[in-house]
Structure 1
Amino acid sequence: LNLIKTIQVELDWVTTESAALEAISERSYDAYLVDAQLLQLSSNNRQHPWLKQGKTVPVIWLTDTPETGITALASGAADYLVYAQLSSPLLERSLRLTIAYARSQYQRKAGKSQHQTQLDKANPTSSNRKKVRYLCNDFSECKYAESAIKRANAQLEQRVRERTAELQRINQELTQEIQERQRVENALRDSEERFRQLAENIGSVFWMIKPDLSELLYVSPMYEEIWGRSCKSFYQNPYSWLDTIHPSDRTSVEMDVAQVIQSDYHQGRLDIEYRIVRPDGSIRWIHARAFPIRNSAGNVYRVAGISEDITDKKRIEEELHQNKLFTEKIANTSPQLLYLYDLITGVNVYVNQQSVELLGYTPEEIQQSGVKFFLDMIHPDDLPLLNELPNHFTTLADHEVSEQEYRIRHKNGSWRWLRSRDIIFRRCANGLPEQILGCAIDITAHKEIELQLRESESRLSAIINSISDGILIVDQQGIVEFANPSAEKLFNQPLKNLVNHEFGLPIVVGETAELGIVRPGGKLGMGEMSIAKTKWQGEPVYVVSLRDITERRQAEEALRESEERFRQLADNIQDVFWLFEPSSNQILYVSPPYEQVWGGSIGNLYIDFNNWLDTIHPDDQESVLDKISKYPQGELITQDYRIVRPDGEIRWICDRAFP
């Protein structure tokens, strides 16, 4: 009403029907605006007292549906207005038309009454005939007024028809608008229901709040399960969630939130992780994401967010972190070089700290060198092995282990022998090997021992062919298979008369016999013949040794010196050197480093072979015994196993046995 400018309106406002009746008894009004919610009107109650007022003063019915308004019109109301469509122009037009129509109706009735009075005066008595003109004049004026009223009525009726047509059009538009609104409301209600079901059934907390955090608009029930507090308390105090934040995280969270609010949310979404303390004292990790919702003008009018309980995720991350640290500690304390090698790029993706001890290079130096590290550091004779690695691993299954031995230059310039054991760690999408996981040990000392052994074997061969003892190899049929040059001299027979001929002497294993020999210069001498049984070229044979006893002392001394050199060599290497007799399960010799590595006494080993087996880790004993059973076959056997020292410490042993 305050926005109406074309007419001046004075309004008396009452809130009850009794107050309204009291007001109209004290004062007259041009129109009544009646709220349908105050009065009940139905098709069976069309003579409501207020509608009867419309016979003297027009009634405008305020209603929520067009159907109720049409019922009011049929019951005597001058007009009706629908709440949803109510506006100042519509209210002004309704007031002006209804009041004008009521006034014209009143003037029309008043004109009819005056006209009847003039007709009664038109039949005067003889005594009054002088007043006819006056009366006629008066009647003409009445006719003129009546004609004017008719024109006014016609105009008013035309306006009413126009108004009725307009109201019908508006009513149709309103009906369509109501139907459309109902459709939209139904769709909105369905959408809100789906949203509510989604919000109430997801495992996270969905919430909506005013931009300044002063009022919480919505929070899903999951808040009570995660925070351990009621949603009601959150609604009552939207800032209460800040009090639940862990003291160590509160300052940073408040700073992040304040920064977003001060920027009017121009910096975009808020994405933070923090801890909360539940009423029972338990701590949970929360991942909160918030984003602004803007209106058509681009202003933020609310903020929505999702808070997820990531306690389990954080626990798993921490466990993974601890496992990673544990793995790194194991890798860095392992005596072996551990690495992850990319076959495609030729680069070590990972190397443990053992690279410093074995090669003198840090893992960072190796990784920074890239593919050049192996190209520059591997021995030129072993480079083809590196180039063939990709092709080599294409033939291996995932569980197969590949062993390689190669030389690589230490940072100090020396060459180190490494033995690697590699398996396929990752494959490309096409199934080809991409990365290999491997470990390597320094076998430089082993290689030196092997070299010494080969040299020893070479020396032994040289000794056999050069010693003064005659050596014969005789098969089971008594045929000589081999004879050294000294046998030719001692038996006084050329080699052609010895080899492939019968030995001709009794063969008694384990006994020593003496017989005459021809010494250099043609002098006779005494020889000592001993016979042993062994295998030669895979066949059982007899080894006949004929020695000039004359030089026995000299030979024994030479032998003692040779054994002493061997013992000094075995006693001074860092690894444990041992001799084992498979047929009797007897340990013949163990070098002193055994006591340092095993932590036990060497003397116990000579007493009982099982004393050594007892030191092997229970999980590895079966595989070790299986390897030992293959010793008589004369194979080169390499195996890794664990031992348990007397102090409980577990150590890994790389064992290489050869016949």
Structure 2
Amino acid sequence: MKPNLNRTFNSTAVGVIFHLADGTIQSCNVEVENILGYTAEQLIGATCFEPPWQTIHEDGSSFPPENHPAIASIRTGQPCSDVIMGFYKPNGDLVWLSIDTLPLIKVNSNELYGVEVSFVDVTQDIGVKNTSQTIGTKRSPQTLTKEQLVDFIPGIIYIYDAIANRNVYINSQTYDSLGYTPQEISELEPNFVTQLMHFDDLARFPAHISRLHSSKEDEICKFEYRMRHKNGEWRWFCSHDRVYSRNPEGSVEQIVGIARDITNRQQTEIALRESETRLTLATNASGIGMWFWDLGNNTLEWTESGREIFGLPHNTELSFDTCFNVIHPEDRDLVQSAIDLALNNKTEYSVEYRVVWADATVRWILAKGRGFYNQDGEAVRMIGTVQDITAQKESEQHLKENEELLRLALFNAKAGTWNWDLIRDEVVWSPENYKLYGIEPQIQPLRYQDWEHTLYPDDIDQTNLEIEKVLSGEISEFRTEFRIIHPHKGIRWILGIGNVTKNENGEPIRLSGINLDISDRQEKAAALRHSEQHLRRVIDSLYSLFCWRNDP
């Protein structure tokens, strides 16, 4: 049989599904996905249009699953022809189908091993009939031969003679999958399998045949392997085989199976494994652990780094409760609330909390994750990361303590800090500096001019000159004394000390430092100068008096 590479029937797309004898879908072609709106992954393994799929008759009444043509053919062993059924797609659209079925019977017996179901989209015909309220000419059913139906199946269908070790039947899909016509494969027999199968997989092939010999009635045995394409490429296949016939002694005579090309899936799985390996290496190197939580059976999987971060021994059987009990008692409500919020709102889970190891060591953890949901919107699992941030938390605590010590030191010294961003012309003051100048803290950000307006008029020019010197690099440190006009305390003396920060080009970008209130010192110095001047005047007066009294 030569392959028909351009099979069309009246230019109409024909969907073909292969059902096993128990009603489950084993395979389908791409037209099925296009017509029904479901992927092959969603269809394969399901039974005939069971909920949530909805089907109806032409009059709008429900089309029970047990009346589906495929089920009827399995029950009666008889074909069905031109059965009209309405099918609701996932997006809610209604598509009308004309369905034909063909029961598949084992050779030399009346036992049914499957049903071929073919259908076409007749939505337009049904719509015209319902709109015009007239009965048109009955659509001629498309009658396909058994060979044509088999050729529509997306996979290689074959019957393998286990005694002669050769294929006695194979459909034309071998051309698309392996580049060989059935005639060319026939010419390669009986060495077709041994010539094309990968050596490593050929070594496992006898074990697969052995499993089939000991298999139960209608049991399907799965085998994944590589075959060399006619162009030299290795292609991955997955075969689902079952015993087709046995001799009177019970030994397997023939095997019927379907082989599907899974090269893309294998390449994806290999890429996924490589990606997981790289991810594991990256997370281990960065000290990040990963966790995978199955919400259905309440089990957790951890990477080795994740276990170490939680202080869990390698042989510990993990569940949500096991890990939750490691969390510090004071943080458990916080963690539970964060999880509930993320799952209910379908947002990212992110929380910091403490864990207590078996030796009473307390560690800080940053946990992040997200939920995954089924078609009904129900959360089925969560995936995320954990990171030990104990060192960061300790640094934050030390910084907080140092800031408090600095605040106390500045308060006692009557000092405040300031930071002038030269690029944005924004001045940031500490709370102590606002108090030093008598300005409300709500006034921010400040500008240079805002500070300049607080200066005593006679000190503005000299102070600006000192700033220009440090910005130009003429002097290395800003250090000057100036007066300000405090709104409540009047004139106050300030000592300003600061340094310049420059970018990679040597250009100044920031001037920062501290201000100290030296009014008391200035007042004491002024009083001392006044006393010295008064003493000088007294001494001068005494000297004049002495000279006068001794003048002859």
- Calculate the TM-score normalised by the size of structure 2: 0.49
Structure ranking higher on relative contact order (CA contacts 8 Å, 6+ apart): 2
- Calculate the TM-score normalised by the size of structure 1: 0.42
Which structure is higher in strand share?
2
Which structure is higher in helix share?
1
Q: Bigger radius of gyration, 1 or 2?
A: 1
